[in-house]
Amino acid sequence: MKSISTLPIFSDAQIAQAIAELHIADIRQATIGEVLLVATYLEDTFGIPMIRMDQGSPGLPANQIGLEAERAALARGVGSQYPPAGGIPEIKTAASAFVHAFLDISISPRSCVPTTGSVCSSFGSFIACTQRHQAQDTILFLDPGFPIQKAQLNVLGIPYEAFDIQSYRGAQLGAKIEEYLHKGNIAGIIYSNPNNPTWGCLEESELEQIGLLATKYDVIILEDQAYFCMDTRKYLGTPHQPPFAPTIANYTDNYIIMISASKMFSYAGQRCALLCISDTLYERQYPALALRYHDSGIFGDSLVASILYMITSGTTSSTQYGVAEMLRQSVLGTIDFVHDTYTYAQRAARMKAIFERHGFHIVYDQDVSAPVGDGFFFTLGFGTMTSGELVSALLHYGVSSIALSTTGGTLQGVRACTSRMSDDLYEVLDVRMAAFAEAYKDNL
């Protein structure tokens, strides 16, 4: 029987060198950005390719229709003019039509606002949500979640609470959330759907519970749809035809939906997203906002003109034209962004098969009524290893990932991203994980 090498790709000394030179306190609790730096350092310094499962950067070409529309806009001279604070009319109209086509909800163009990425969307929304009522100053995270959003609250000095929803899926979720809302300090609830990092999806019954509570306690729901319609367990890409992507908008008027062009159109470098605010919420008037900003106190106007404009002074004009055209062509059926992004699900299935063959398991593997699907992210555990131990051990074997503990997950494991996987790396991954499994077999 052929023996399997257990030798790591990178030695303790090489890993220690990278950590020391990059001034990283603890690789086991490293942020996404820190893991990215370490992986890049190891690749560049020692000339050995990494399996990059760290940063969720798109791994597909940018949509050409958007690029052509953006070039045309620049050629028309839009680069010399400041963009409107609330967005150009073309993108606002296109966004309104887009959410109607793919979510089956009605939001007026006025309430659809472009931002410089969903990170900007959540940053501004956190401010508006926590300033509208003095007593409601805290954000509730339905974890696991996107670590950067908590980092944003640390920058802003806004308190937050969080819990891992895995033990409260289904009928139990509403009661658990109400434990937090009953205290009266929660201003907003944030989650991603599909979820980063687990790729789990909240189901209609769970969204209904959340929506009813949002209305009862006057809490704003921040629904992060960065991976719009990318739950491939059913096809969600036919405009104006069911099935539609699940959304909180069906169950409350207290919502902000964040839709990003980064993954949907592989347009991450241009930094453009949409804040789709319910018309009812957009028009609500809050004396606290009026007093603070000396404006009307209308929620949407304060968010756009008194908050978002102070952060970025609008979204790049040419990019808005590019995204507007991609939204419009998606509604017409010319662009099938759901089909275009199916590559990530195919990669996930192949990667999972390799990991599972070598003793790994999917950590967050089940929604309420079905197994979690394949997509942009998945989660991995290995026997008794903790999240931090697994991050460090995988790094030695040339695989970069982030610890689930940094996402608010209470289960042990790592987040794996499929976006940077390529055909030439599957065999490399298989060989490395065979060696890993042999080296760490006592942990199983």
> Is pLDDT above 90 for 7?
no
* 176 and 303 assigned to the same domain: yes
Q: Do 108 and 166 reside in the same domain of the chain? A: yes
Please check whether residues 128 and 235 belong to one and the same domain: yes
Q: Which CATH number characterizes residue 294's domain?
A: 3.40.640.10
Q: What is the pTM of this model?
A: 0.96
Structural tokens at position 377? 């992210």
2 pLDDT tier (thresholds 50, 70, 90): low
Say yes or no: 212 and 69 in one domain: yes
Is 140 among the domain residues? yes
Helix axes 204-216, 173-181, angle to 10 degrees: 20
| 44 and 159 housed in the same domain | no
For residue 3, tell me if it sits in a domain: no
275 and 368 share one domain: no
pLDDT digits (tens, 9 = 90+) for 303-355: 999 999 999 999 999 999 999 999 999 999 999 999 999 999 999 999 999 99
How many structural domains is the chain composed of?
A: 2
The answer on 150 and 53 residing in a single domain is: no
Query: For residue 188, what are the domain limits?
Result: 64-332
Q: Report the CATH number that the domain containing residue 370 is assigned in CATH.
A: 3.90.1150.100
Residue 69 pLDDT > 70: yes
The residue from 303, 332, 361 where one domain ends is 332
In a domain, 2, yes or no: no
Do 211 and 319 share a domain, yes or no?
Answer: yes
375 within some domain: yes
On whether residue 92 sits in a domain, the answer given is yes
Q: Do 279 and 140 sit in the same domain of this protein?
A: yes
Based on the domain organization, do 95 and 215 belong to the same domain?
A: yes
Could you write out the three-class secondary structure of the chain?
Answer: CCCCCCCCCCCHHHHHHHHHHCCCCCHHHCCHHHHHHHHHHHHHHHCCCCEECCCCCCCCCCCHHHHHHHHHHHHCCHHHCCCCCCCCHHHHHHHHHHHHHHHCCCCCHHHEEEECCHHHHHHHHHHHHHHCCCCCCEEEEEECCCHHHHHHHHHHCCCEEEEEHHHHCHHHHHHHHHHHHCCCCEEEEEEECCCCCCCCCCCHHHHHHHHHHHHHCCCEEEEEECCCCCCCCCCCCCCCCCCCCCCHHHCCCCEEEEEEHHHHCCCHHHCCEEEEECHHHHHCECHHHHHHHCCCCEHHHHHHHHHHHHHHCCCCHHHHHHHHHHHHHHHHCCCCHHHHCCHHHHHHHHHHHHHHHCCCEECCCECCCCECCCCCEEEEECCCCCHHHHHHHHHHCCEECEEHHHHCCCCCCEEEECCCCCHHHHHHHHHHHHHHHHHCHHHC
Question: Are both 35 and 69 inside the same structural domain?
Answer: no
State which of 296, 312, 332 marks the end of a domain. Answer: 332
Average pLDDT, the chain: 96
Tell me, yes or no, whether 7 lies in a domain.
no
Residues 321 and 293 in one domain: yes
- Residue that terminates a domain, selected from 332, 364, 398: 332
Reported as a single tens digit per residue, the pLDDT across 150-207 is: 999 999 999 999 999 999 999 999 999 999 999 999 999 999 999 999 999 999 999 9
| Domain presence at residue 5 | no
Q: What pLDDT, in 10s, does the model give residues 155-168?
A: 999 999 999 999 99
**pLDDT tens, residue by residue, 18-42:** 999 999 998 888 888 999 999 999 9
